[in-house]
Amino acid sequence: MLCTSCVHWTVELFSYSALEERWTKLIGNVITPGYKDKFIKESKKQSLDFDNTYLSFKYCSKGCLDRFYIMRNPRDDKPKKMVSTCSSYSTSAAAKEGIPVPGPLWTICTTESHGVSRIGGQLFYPGLYENSTYFRIPAHSNILPELNVSGNCVICDSSFEHGIRIHEVSHFCCNKHYLEWWRARNPEMFKKLNKD
């Protein structure tokens, strides 16, 4: 399992503002200052306006790596960090679609309790700790999900060592696949919880 063979491994050209937006969406915290410094340096080197400066980056579009890597040359597209047990690894294009995770409803803020919670009438349990983020997952009926179990995911059929099991119902390799399954069975609650 190498990032370079995963559908989520991405190479993309960014302006600083676009990089900052993508960083916030995937990593979830404030972008580190070194990235802005790279853009400032490149804009001076190319004699371009800061807003018109673009740099190529390689990154995981699922946010499984906690940074974006600048490309040194056009063939520099391999990951710097090898991830051998990534729950989001896939070679299927269908894996790129679906629920955006992490998202504000599904992640737990550092000031929140990591226990059971209720939001908009829906009961939530703590989910798997993925990509340096604590997740909450919605309850299915009154079944308490078991975490860090092994099995085969009912969404992508990948085998996993640390996933989610809904006892006597299904197995999931990651929070995202559990949410996809839960959404199909709870469409009205999903719509209610995701109103803008």
Among residues 83, 107, 137, the one where a domain terminates is: 83
Among residues 57, 83, 109, the one where a domain terminates is: 83
Report how far residue 54's alpha carbon sits from residue 104's, in angstroms, rounded to the nearest whole number.
29
Q: Which residues contact 27 (CB under 8 A, 6 or more apart)?
A: 63, 66, 67
Residue 41 belongs to some domain of the structure: yes
Q: How many domains does the chain have?
A: 2
Higher pLDDT, 37 or 90: 37
Residue 105 belongs to some domain of the structure: no
Instruction: Tell me which residue range forms the domain holding 61.
Output: 3-83
Same domain? For 10 and 78 the reply is yes
Same domain? For 75 and 121 the reply is no
User: What is the model's pLDDT at position 109?
Assistant: 56
Residue 93 belongs to some domain of the structure: no
**Spatial strand order in the sheet of 122-130:** 117-119, 122-130, 133-138
- The answer to whether 157 touches 79, Cβ cutoff 8 Å, is no
Residue 174 belongs to some domain of the structure: yes
- The answer to whether 147 touches 166, Cβ cutoff 8 Å, is no
**SS3 at position 9:** strand
- The answer to whether 36 touches 29, Cβ cutoff 8 Å, is no
pLDDT digits (tens, 9 = 90+) for 154-178: 888 788 888 888 876 678 888 888 8
User: What is the model's pLDDT at position 1?
Assistant: 55
Higher pLDDT, 150 or 98: 150
Question: How many residues appear in the chain?
Answer: 196
Same domain? For 189 and 125 the reply is yes
Give the 3-state secondary structure percentages of the chain, helix then strand then coil, rounded to 5: 25, 25, 45
Cβ burial, residue 186 (10 Å; 0-12/13-18/19+): middle
Cα 50 to Cα 11, 32, 74, 163: the distances in Å are 21, 17, 22, 44
**SS3 at position 111:** coil
Residue 104 belongs to some domain of the structure: no
DSSP bridge pairs for 159 = 152
**What average pLDDT is seen over the chain?**
77
Among residues 36, 60, 83, the one where a domain terminates is: 83
